Structure 1
Amino acid sequence: MAKDSRRWLGLVFISIAVSLIIVDSTIVNVAVPSIVEELKISSTQVQWVQEVYTLVFASLLLLFGALADRFGRRRVMLLGVSIFAASSVLASFASTGELLILARFAQGVGGAMILPTTLSLINSTFRGRERGIAFAVWGSTIGGMAAVGPLLGGWLTTAFSWRWAFGINIPLGIIIVIGVLLTVSESREARRRSIDVVGALLSIVLFGSLVFGLIEGRTFGWWTAEDGLTIGGWTWPLSISPIPFAFGVTLIALILFIWWGLRRAQRGKDPLIEFSLLSISSFRNGNVAALVVSLGEFGLILALPLWLQFVLGFDALQVGFLLLALAAGSFVASGAAGAFSGRISPVVVVRAGILAEIIGIAWAGFIIGPDAAWGWLVPALAIYGFGVGLATAQLTGVILQDVPVEKSGQGSGIQSTARQVGSALGVAILGTVLFTTTGSVLSSSLDDAGLPAPAADKVVTAVVDSAGAAIAGFDANPADAQIADAARTAFSDGTRASALTAAGFLVIGLGASFALGSGKRRDEDAQESRAEERVQGS
Structure 2
Amino acid sequence: MTSPRTRWFGLLFISLAVSLIIVDSTIINVSIPSIIEDLGITSTQVQWVQESYTLVFAALLLVFGALADRFGRRRVMVLGMAIFVVSSVIAGFSQSGDILIAARVLQGFGGAMVLPTTLSLVNATFQGKERGIAFAIWGSTIGGMVAVGPLLGGWLTTDYSWRWAFGINIPIGIIIIIGALLTVQESKEESASGSIDWLGAFYSVIAMSTLVFALIEGRTYGWWEVNKPFTVGDWTWPGKISIIPVLFLVFILASTLFIAHGANRIRKGKSALISFNLFTIASFRNGNIAAMVISLGEFGIILSLPLWLQFVIGYDALQTGFVLLGLAGGAFVASGLAGGLSGRVSPVTMVRMGILLEIVGVTGVGFAITPTASWVNVVPWLFVYGLGVGLATAQLTNVILKDVPVQESGQASGTQSTSRQLGSALGIAILGTILFTSVQIQLTNDLTSEGLPEEQVTQVVTAVVDSAGGAIVQLEADPTTQPVADNAKQALSDGTRYGAFAAAGFLVLGFLATLSLGSTRKEEVEQIKESDENHVI
TM-score normalised by L of structure 2: 0.93
Q: In the TM superposition, what is the alpha-carbon distance from 1:113 to its structure 2 partner?
A: 1.1
Aligned residue runs from structure 1 range 92-103, under 5 A = 92-103=92-103
Q: Which moved more, 1:199-208 or 1:331-340?
A: 331-340
SS in 2 for 1:422: helix
Q: Deviations over 1:7-31 (max 9, x none)?
A: 5554443332221122112111111
The amino acid that maps onto 2:155 is W
The amino acid that maps onto 1:20 is L
How far apart, in 2, do the equivalents of 1:293 and 1:82 lie?
A: 32
How far apart, in 2, do the equivalents of 1:15 and 1:286 lie?
A: 25
Q: Deviations over 1:381-439 (max 9, x none)?
A: 11111211221211112222233343333112111111111011101000000000111
Q: Which moved more, 1:4-13 or 1:411-420?
A: 4-13
Q: In the TM superposition, what is the alpha-carbon distance from 1:344 to its structure 2 partner?
A: 2.5
State the partner residue of 1:208.
209
State the partner residue of 1:450.
451
How far apart, in 2, do the equivalents of 1:497 and 1:479 lie?
A: 29
The amino acid that maps onto 2:253 is I
SS in 1 for 2:27: helix
How far apart, in 2, do the equivalents of 1:438 and 1:367 lie?
A: 18
Q: Deviations over 1:351-377 (max 9, x none)?
A: 111112111111111101111132121
What RMSD, in angstroms, separates the aligned Cα atoms of the two structures?
Answer: 2.5
Q: In the TM superposition, what is the alpha-carbon distance from 1:129 to its structure 2 partner?
A: 6.7
State the partner residue of 2:75.
75
How far apart, in 2, do the equivalents of 1:527 and 1:506 lie?
A: 25
Q: Which moved more, 1:170-179 or 1:205-214?
A: 170-179
Q: Which moved more, 1:113-122 or 1:458-467?
A: 113-122
Counting matched residue pairs gives: 529
How far apart, in 2, do the equivalents of 1:466 and 1:332 lie?
A: 37
The amino acid that maps onto 1:207 is M
Aligned residue runs from structure 1 range 75-474, under 5 A = 75-125=75-125, 134-193=134-193, 194-226=195-227, 230=231, 232=233, 234-474=235-475
Q: Deviations over 1:70-101 (max 9, x none)?
A: 22223222222221111111110111111111
How far apart, in 2, do the equivalents of 1:519 and 1:6 lie?
A: 42
Q: Which moved more, 1:278-287 or 1:115-124?
A: 115-124
Q: Deviations over 1:454-491 (max 9, x none)?
A: 21111111100100000011101101111000000000
Q: Which moved more, 1:470-479 or 1:257-266?
A: 257-266
Residue 37 (structure 1) aligned with residue 37 (structure 2): yes
How far apart, in 1, do the equivalents of 2:471 and 2:452 lie?
A: 18
Q: In the TM superposition, what is the alpha-carbon distance from 1:527 to its structure 2 partner?
A: 11
How far apart, in 1, do the equivalents of 2:482 and 2:180 lie?
A: 56
Does structure 2 retain, via aligned residues, the 8 Å contact 1:447–1:456? yes
Q: Deviations over 1:200-219 (max 9, x none)?
A: 11111111111111010000
How far apart, in 1, do the equivalents of 2:77 and 2:9 lie?
A: 17
Q: Deviations over 1:187-234 (max 9, x none)?
A: 332311331111111111111111111010000000011155655554
Pair 1:519–1:119, CA change in 2 (3 A): farther
How far apart, in 2, do the equivalents of 1:91 and 1:353 lie?
A: 36
Q: In the TM superposition, what is the alpha-carbon distance from 1:134 to its structure 2 partner?
A: 4.4
Q: Which moved more, 1:77-86 or 1:210-219?
A: 77-86
Q: Deviations over 1:145-178 (max 9, x none)?
A: 1221111111111111111110111122123234
How far apart, in 2, do the equivalents of 1:401 and 1:5 lie?
A: 30
How far apart, in 1, do the equivalents of 2:510 and 2:137 lie?
A: 23
How far apart, in 1, do the equivalents of 2:249 and 2:90 lie?
A: 34
Does structure 2 retain, via aligned residues, the 8 Å contact 1:136–1:393? no
The amino acid that maps onto 1:65 is G
Identity over aligned pairs, percent: 63
How far apart, in 2, do the equivalents of 1:258 and 1:388 lie?
A: 31
Does structure 2 retain, via aligned residues, the 8 Å contact 1:311–1:491? yes
State the partner residue of 2:535.
none
How far apart, in 2, do the equivalents of 1:258 and 1:138 lie?
A: 31
How far apart, in 2, do the equivalents of 1:342 and 1:126 lie?
A: 24
Q: In the TM superposition, what is the alpha-carbon distance from 1:125 to its structure 2 partner?
A: 4.8
Q: Deviations over 1:274-295 (max 9, x none)?
A: 1122222222111111100110
State the partner residue of 2:509.
508
Residue 22 (structure 1) aligned with residue 34 (structure 2): no
Q: Deviations over 1:20-63 (max 9, x none)?
A: 12211211111111111111111111111111111111111111
The amino acid that maps onto 2:246 is F
Does structure 1 retain, via aligned residues, the 8 Å contact 2:342–2:528? no
Q: Deviations over 1:109-139 (max 9, x none)?
A: 0111122222333444556776565444333
Q: Deviations over 1:279-318 (max 9, x none)?
A: 2222211111110011001233111001101111111111
Q: In the TM superposition, what is the alpha-carbon distance from 1:264 to its structure 2 partner?
A: 1.4
How far apart, in 2, do the equivalents of 1:511 and 1:7 lie?
A: 41
Q: Which moved more, 1:67-76 or 1:457-466?
A: 67-76
Pair 1:469–1:342, CA change in 2 (3 A): same
The amino acid that maps onto 1:19 is S
Does structure 2 retain, via aligned residues, the 8 Å contact 1:27–1:150? yes
State the partner residue of 1:532.
none
How far apart, in 2, do the equivalents of 1:429 and 1:42 lie?
A: 17
The amino acid that maps onto 1:91 is A
How far apart, in 2, do the equivalents of 1:303 and 1:268 lie?
A: 46
TM-score normalised by L of structure 1: 0.92
The amino acid that maps onto 2:364 is W
How far apart, in 2, do the equivalents of 1:210 and 1:519 lie?
A: 39
Does structure 2 retain, via aligned residues, the 8 Å contact 1:41–1:97? yes
Does structure 1 retain, via aligned residues, the 8 Å contact 2:2–2:185? no
The amino acid that maps onto 2:320 is V
Q: Deviations over 1:473-531 (max 9, x none)?
A: 110110111100000000000001111101110111111112225599x99949979xx
Q: In the TM superposition, what is the alpha-carbon distance from 1:272 to its structure 2 partner?
A: 1.5
How far apart, in 1, do the equivalents of 2:47 and 2:184 lie?
A: 36
SS in 2 for 1:162: coil
SS in 2 for 1:439: helix
Does structure 1 retain, via aligned residues, the 8 Å contact 2:64–2:113? yes
